Amino acid sequence: MTILVGLTAGLTGCIQGLRMNWGLLGVGLVGSVFLHMMANVLNDYYDTRRGLDRRGVGTVEYRPHPILHGILSPRETALMGFASGLTGLILALLVLAMNRPLAIILGVLGFTLAYSYTGPPLSLKYRALGELDVYLAWGVVIPLGNYYLATGNLGLEPLLSVLPLALLVTAVLLANNLRDTEADRAGGIETLATRLGFSRGRVLFKLLIGASYISPVLFLPVDWRLLAALAPSYATLPMAVKVASMMDSGRAPPDADPRVAMLLQRYSILYLAGIIAVCLYIHA
């Protein structure tokens, strides 16, 4: 998810005809992945501490859990999480001397969002603000950071170009939380899914999926080339319909979030193919 969103934002500069620094874009993508890694690892650490992650519940059932499957101790898991985040910050520091002074600010913002997802004192996931945290990370900080490193500019264009992807990333988390609604209630935390309830949460989930296909109409008054680049992604509409309806039975499937992530992956790859085609046309 992180590489696809970061690439899309960075290549927006190519569509605009801006001079691209491919090396710095690569650094930005690597740094973004390390911050994403921090968020995921610390999520496992804090969820285990709170008793939310346990045998028979949620993601523990379909993928290896570092603590519960004996891969790492709790202390090692926490250290891995913080080491990943600090690596991302170090990479931001390295590009300070390469005419990208705002990189450290964006890096600190990314670190803060990654840590605060589950880390105290904010622990946004446990206060029904996890989806907001995720949207700010994938819809604002990651695209702005990679676009800035690639082009040296800031602007609304990268935020607009990744809007459909950021909505799908947010839907990945909401699908996860809808599946874990009962377990999260039993664990005494409040997510957006537990606050809304399954029925209303399912409606929001469908709206996020639908908005990822409708929101690109906003591209037209800004840059028609973005809309042209996104056109191949609409080949995923049949898959999107299936994913949007997967909770109509009244419960979320165990692999609800990976299904949305697979939709995002296919959508993004086709989008990137469109962006590359438009860039080649522009620079031909």
CATH of the domain at 246: 1.10.600
Structural domain boundaries, residue 275: 2-282
**Token pair belonging to 181:** 């609604």
Q: What is the dihedral of CA 132, 136, 139, 141, to 10 degrees?
A: -170
Amino acid at site 20: M
The 8 Å CB, 24+ separation contacts for 73-79 are: 74/45, 74/48, 74/49, 77/41, 77/44, 77/45, 77/48, 78/42, 78/45
Amino acid at site 284: A
Amino acid at site 105: I
**How much of the chain, in percent, has pLDDT values that exceed 90?**
78
Assign 62 a pLDDT band (cuts: 50, 70, 90). low
Cβ neighbors of 216 (< 8 A, separation 6 or more) are 163, 164, 226, 227, 230
pTM of the full structure = 0.93
Cβ neighbors of 125 (< 8 A, separation 6 or more) are 43, 117, 118, 133, 189, 191
Instruction: Give CA–CA dist 259/88, Å, rounded.
Output: 28
Instruction: Give CA–CA dist 14/200, Å, rounded.
Output: 40
Please give the mean pLDDT across all residues of the chain: 93
Whether omega for the bond prior to residue 221 falls within 30 degrees of 0, making it cis, is no
Is residue 41 within 8 Å of residue 79, measured between CB atoms? no
Number of domains in the chain: 1
The model's pLDDT over 168-207, given as tens digits with 9 standing for 90+, comes to 999 999 999 999 898 888 888 899 999 999 999 999 999 9
pLDDT at 254: 87
Assign 234 a pLDDT band (cuts: 50, 70, 90). very high
Segment (H or E) for 22: helix 22-49
pLDDT at 97: 80
